[in-house]
């Protein structure tokens, strides 16, 4: 009976989860592995518990503190292993694998508890088994969600999310053990505690999914907006003959799409990054492009003038040299790059340069032709400085391909024009040589040469 209760409840829960489509037969093997891993975690604690008692630790502390800590530390490792192997980073998978691990842990404990509580009523045994299963599944589900969020590589606060999830799961289990240890609420409060916990987790997952759906809608809207910009701009750039206006349009459209307050567009020339266009709305600065205002900012060296080493200290030169996009949330809170020049500019002008999005403009062969840098992203109301969104970064990398194509087209056109000019010079030189030869080869010209020579001889005599 105890084996049926201990194993039956997790199996029923797993079946219910399958019926509701929380996992498929494709990843059933991983779910089964998490069940076994949870059981092994409980077995490991059983092996460790006597040694902890021999060390003189309080049984109450072992049960309430050390047991949840060890349980969820091991379960988190198991869930992370599965997510890492399957390359999954969604909340549902993390929650399912967490639930399965908790159920495996609960199954072992339920069997062990049942063997020591044979004299109790079967109904109470079932209630306690359900309580243990729900609580451990809920706590481990929280851990699974935290692990899956941690696995989201683009999340900037993923370590905080992981620690928060671990703390919530461990604390939830510890509170349940306090109820049981001190017999608070009899046999029914722990069951209600488990039901309430799993309900809250369900609501939390539903809320996160809703948030993700809203974000997907926003990203689709952004993509559509970018398309509305890219198509007209692509047509415009393909027909634009003024190179300054071409670069200016690229920067202006990028600034507008990202709600950036400032930005610059650089071109790679002779181992340097030269400013081509500069815009700053707050400072009302507009240089380069069609403004006829000469850019007073010095070029950036791609290599150290003394040692010849690559200049990775500056964010723009790093992007030009590596071809990698760099997204800095706060220039004043990072030591990844040298922002001393930026900070000096801020002190001199009263400006505050915080967030940076620096994107390379590359040819099809991967050669960096220039760098597009946007500064200070603003919220939708353009009042608060915010970091550049990572999803927006991906869209702008696609946008940079259009700018690169325009640059390549212009460079090819300029190269062709130069070749035509050089060919014209060669043709004109050859034509002049032919005309001179046609004159000097005539009998009349030769007679004139002979008369001129005779006159010089007579004068000398």
What DSSP assignment string belongs to 265-328?
EEEEETTEEEEEEEEETTTTEEEETTS-PPP-SPPEESB-TTT--B--SSHHHHHHHH---EEE
Q: Note down the domain range covering 130.
A: 2-218
Name the token pair of 227: 């398309």
Q: Which of 185-194, 391-400, 439-448 has the lowest mean pLDDT?
A: 439-448
Same domain for 403 and 428: no
Instruction: Give the pLDDT confidence of 313-352 residue by residue, as tens digits.
Output: 999 999 999 999 999 989 988 888 999 989 999 999 999 9
What's 268's domain CATH number?
3.30.450.40
Name the token pair of 330: 């706060």
Phi, psi of 356 (to 5 degrees): -130, 135
Same domain for 427 and 403: no
Same domain for 199 and 110: yes
Task: Answer whether residue 227 is part of any domain.
Answer: no
- For 388, half-sphere exposure in the C-beta direction (CA atoms, 13 angstrom radius) is 31
Same domain for 210 and 297: no
Give the residue from 218, 253, 280 where a domain finishes.
218
Same domain for 150 and 90: yes
Name the token pair of 126: 């079932």
Task: Answer whether residue 439 is part of any domain.
Answer: yes
- Name every residue whose Cβ is closer than 8 Å to that of residue 433 and which is 6 or more positions away in sequence: none
Task: Answer whether residue 236 is part of any domain.
Answer: no
pLDDT exceeds cutoff 60 at 22: yes
Instruction: Give the pLDDT confidence of 39-88 residue by residue, as tens digits.
Output: 898 888 888 888 888 888 888 888 888 988 998 899 889 888 888 887 76
Q: Which residue has the higher pLDDT, 207 or 292?
A: 292
Same domain for 406 and 434: no
Q: What is the pLDDT of residue 424?
A: 60
Provide the domain count of the chain.
3
Same domain for 386 and 442: no
114-126 mean pLDDT: 63
Contact 134, 195 (CB under 8 A): yes
Same domain for 112 and 56: yes
């Amino acid at each position: 009976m105890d084996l049926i209760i201990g194993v039956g409840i997790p199996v029923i829960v797993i079946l219910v989860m399958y019926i509701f489509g929380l996992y498929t037969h494709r990843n059933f093997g991983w779910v089964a592995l998490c069940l076994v891993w949870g059981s092994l975690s409980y077995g490991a604690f059983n092996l460790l518990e006597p040694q902890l008692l021999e060390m003189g630790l309080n049984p109450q502390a072992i049960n309430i503190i050390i047991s949840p800590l060890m349980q969820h530390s091991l379960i988190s490792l198991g869930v992370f292993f599965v997510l890492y192997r399957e390359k999954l980073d969604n909340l549902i998978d993390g929650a399912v694998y967490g639930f399965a691990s908790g159920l495996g842990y609960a199954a072992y404990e339920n069997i062990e508890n049942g063997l020591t509580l044979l004299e109790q009523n079967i109904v109470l045994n079932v209630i306690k088994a359900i309580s243990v299963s729900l609580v451990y599944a809920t706590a481990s589900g929280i851990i699974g969600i935290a692990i899956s969020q941690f696995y989201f590589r683009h999340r900037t606060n993923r370590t905080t999310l992981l620690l928060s999830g671990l703390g919530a799961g461990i604390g939830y289990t510890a509170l349940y053990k306090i109820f049981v240890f001190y017999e608070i609420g009899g046999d029914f409060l722990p069951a209600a505690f488990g039901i309430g916990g799993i309900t809250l987790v369900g609501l939390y997952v539903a809320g996160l999914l809703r948030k993700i759906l809203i974000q997907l809608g926003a990203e689709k809207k952004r993509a559509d907006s970018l398309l509305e910009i890219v198509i007209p701009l692509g047509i415009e750039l393909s027909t634009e003959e003024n190179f300054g206006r071409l670069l200016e349009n690229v920067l202006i459209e990028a600034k507008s799409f990202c709600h950036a307050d400032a930005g610059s567009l650089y071109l790679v020339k002779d181992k340097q990054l030269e400013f081509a266009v500069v815009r700053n709305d707050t400072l009302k600065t507009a240089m380069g492009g069609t403004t006829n205002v000469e850019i007073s900012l010095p070029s950036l060296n791609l290599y150290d003038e003394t040692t010849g080493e690559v200049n990775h200290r500056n964010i723009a030169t790093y992007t030009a040299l590596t071809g990698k996009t760099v997204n800095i949330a706060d220039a004043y809170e990072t030591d990844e790059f040298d922002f001393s020049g930026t900070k000096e500019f801020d002190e001199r002008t009263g400006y505050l340069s915080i967030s940076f999005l620096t994107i390379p403009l590359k040819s099809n062969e991967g050669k960096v032709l220039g760098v597009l840098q946007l500064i200070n992203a603003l919220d939708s109301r353009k009042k608060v400085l915010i970091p550049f969104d990572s999803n927006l970064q991906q869209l702008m990398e696609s946008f940079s391909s259009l700018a690169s194509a325009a640059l390549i087209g212009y460079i090819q056109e300029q190269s062709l024009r130069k070749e035509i000019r050089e060919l014209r010079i060669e043709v004109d030189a050859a034509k002049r040589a032919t005309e001179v030869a046609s004159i000097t080869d005539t009998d009349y010209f030769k007679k004139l040469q002979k008369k001129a020579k005779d006159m010089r001889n007579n004068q000398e005599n």
